[in-house]
Amino acid sequence: MNINIKKLAIKSLVVAAIALFIFPSCSEDILDEKPIDFLSPDNAYLTEAGAFQGITAIHDRVRSAYYSFGEFGVMNWATHGSDLGYNGETPGPGGSYLNSYNDMTPVWRNVIATWNVGFEIIQWSNVLIDKVGIADPDVFVGGEAGKNKYIAEARFFRAFAYRYLVSTYGDLPLLTEPINSAKADFVRNPVADIHDLMVEDFKFAAANLPKPGEEDAPGRITQGPAWHYLAETYLEQDEFELAAEAATSVIDGYDYDLMTSRFGTKLGNDVWGSGDVFLDLFGFGNHNLTENKESMWAIQVEPFLIGGGQIASAYIFGPRYFDIGLTPDGKKGFQGEMFNGLYTGYSDSLGRPTANGRGTSLVYYDVWKNDWDNDIRNAEHNLKRNFYYDNPESAYDKKKIDFSLYDPARPDPMADSTKIIFPIHIKFTDALNYFLQPNRSGGGITHKDWYALRFAETLLIRAEAYLELGNNSLAAADVNRVRDRSNATPVSASEIDMDFLLDERVRELYGEEWRLIVLRRTGMLLERVRKYNDNPLVPGANIAEHNFRWPIPQEQIDLNVDADFPQNPGY
């Protein structure tokens, strides 16, 4: 296995700041060059400005991976291949999304890309940790503490990358130093060793990062997320008392809280005619507000800055309503907005989703059945279920779309329910606020920041620890803090179990949590995918026992010629 550092370096040399992380050093027996008047990994991080440039590049790399289709991005593996969803546009096997575990081969693009980006972030983090570690503390604001702040943030990201990799692939190379030359003798360290490193990294981060509210800029990592992921890692280790204690450090140690009153940009501007605090949490511009006590780590999009970004959240999640075709009386079903004298066929309130993230019946119906009318997370302005014809020439104009009205019946009822019309979580959209492509109502692109971590998830993490400890009363209390905010019926200690907790995570965190990590950690992956993944062409996603882990990319095994690097069983 070769982590392909040379290949990564070549790709990254076009951006000097990024290249500094991975440009391989020459071995001393070839050339002992002292960088004096040019930047290299040997001198780039010896100043505050250099360390800041380095940590900014890591943040940018995590941001781009977070929203990717093929790397470890939440916009893909948050739902696909789990109990929560599949690609509704093309629900069969053989696509670029994880509809069928039969596609999960050692040469599948997503297997390779996920591996590569994870180790790329680890390499970049190790370079910064190594070089800042030898820098003079006096060049940093705050001296030794200022220096350790950068090391702590890099160690956080190293552990964060390992968090996904170790869950996905199992045993992995444990890398704590930069790879500076070609290497072909990597070994797979046990999962337990990786978790031990993660514990130490998150502990160091929790001790040396700024307190929440004292970070240098929005989106920078603080102590809170480090404690949260430390708690999660303890859960992976079956250290449930330690997990509860680490989560309590977040819950009781800082000024985080659930938002319970309306706030921010949506006040007086409810596109759907109604709203609530849950809707406000996902409003444009609300993620970084000081009054938002629930935001622990928000990925920054920064659309108005050079180098700022955009995301495809409104592209992946939601139905292709604009492909409905004709009304029951034979008129065009959806005319959309007027732009340059023509109707676009798209609605500026709905945007342009493409059904790539179609939820399961569990997501849209089953988890709500006991609180259908009172849980605000199921309100129409948060989980839109009703769509309407849009054409004044039709007798059905402004009437609710109903496929049973067609005579003769529509030719592809499966596409109608998996692709054309199904509910959409409004948290993914940015109604009437799309900046680009007015001819396509934004083209599926939004410019909102996105939560990598909200306080609600920490409460559910501690509830999981309490549940594993057999303390159902305390578990129910934490879950009920989340449910109370949403006006949901409290769960009793006798009712709560792991299935209920996983369902509560659906209600609260759909599309935010990395579902495959959660299901593996709780040991519920196989059971719940088989039970709830109702892809009509691939029921249960064809998941088999060995799919608990993904395969190691074959190219990594082939390149590791100087040491044995076994493939995961079943591949």
* Residues paired with 334 in a beta bridge: 390
Residue 370 main-chain phi, psi, to 5 deg: -90, -10
> Could you read off the pLDDT of 55-71 as tens digits, one per residue?
999 999 998 888 776 67
The pLDDT value recorded for residue 239 is 98
Sorting pLDDT into bands at 50, 70 and 90, what band is 21?
very low
Question: Tokens in use for 427?
Answer: 């948290």
Question: Tokens in use for 384?
Answer: 């839109």
Asked if the model's pLDDT at residue 443 lies above 80, the reply is yes
> Could you read off the pLDDT of 469-521 as tens digits, one per residue?
999 999 999 999 999 999 999 999 999 999 999 999 999 999 999 999 999 99
Question: Tokens in use for 294?
Answer: 């629930």
Mean pLDDT of 316-327: 96
- Residue 401, SS3 per DSSP: coil
Segment (H or E) for 299: strand 295-299
Sorting pLDDT into bands at 50, 70 and 90, what band is 152?
very high
Asked if the model's pLDDT at residue 30 lies above 90, the reply is no
Contact at 8 Å (CB) between 281 and 448? no
For residues 56, 57, 62, 63, the Cα torsion angle rounded to the nearest 10 degrees is 70
Question: What is each CA distance from 278 to 422, 457, 561, in whole angstroms?
Answer: 21, 14, 53
Asked if the model's pLDDT at residue 9 lies above 70, the reply is no
Mean pLDDT of 163-192: 96
Mean pLDDT of 242-259: 98
Distance CA 277, CA 434 (A): 22
Asked if the model's pLDDT at residue 133 lies above 80, the reply is yes
Asked if the model's pLDDT at residue 75 lies above 70, the reply is no
Count other Cβ atoms within 10 Å, centred on residue 527.
14
Sorting pLDDT into bands at 50, 70 and 90, what band is 34?
low
Question: What is each CA distance from 139 to 45, 46, 147, 381, in whole angstroms?
Answer: 11, 8, 8, 51
Question: Tokens in use for 407?
Answer: 């005579």
Distance CA 369, CA 331 (A): 36
401-409 own/partner pairs: CB under 8 Å, 24+ apart: 401/321, 401/324, 401/333, 405/328, 406/328, 407/328
| Of 197, 100, 108, residue with least CA distance to 156 | 197
Distance CA 516, CA 524 (A): 10
In this predicted structure, which of 19-28, 105-114, 209-218, 286-295 has the lowest mean pLDDT? 19-28
Mean pLDDT of 358-385: 98
Asked if the model's pLDDT at residue 547 lies above 90, the reply is yes
The pLDDT value recorded for residue 35 is 55
- Residue 334, SS3 per DSSP: strand
Asked if the model's pLDDT at residue 15 lies above 50, the reply is no
Asked if the model's pLDDT at residue 12 lies above 60, the reply is no
Q: Looking at the domain 5-24+40-209+553-559, which fold is it?
A: 1.25.40
Instruction: Write out the E strands in 352-492.
Output: 358-359, 383-384, 424-425, 450-454
Produce one character per residue of 57-73: b if its CB has 16 or more CB atoms within 10 Å, e if not: bbbbbbbebbbbbbbbb
| Of 366, 368, 367, 364, residue with least CA distance to 423 | 364
Residue 338 CB-density burial (10 A; 0-12 exposed, 13-18 middle, 19+ buried): exposed
Cis peptide before 566 (omega within 30 of 0): no
Asked if the model's pLDDT at residue 10 lies above 90, the reply is no
Sorting pLDDT into bands at 50, 70 and 90, what band is 267?
confident
| Of 233, 213, 234, residue with least CA distance to 224 | 213
Sorting pLDDT into bands at 50, 70 and 90, what band is 39?
low
Mean pLDDT of the chain: 91
Domain extent listing, the chain:
5-24+40-209+553-559
Mean pLDDT of 412-438: 95
For residue 347, give the DSSP letter. Answer: B
The pLDDT value recorded for residue 308 is 74
The pLDDT value recorded for residue 149 is 98
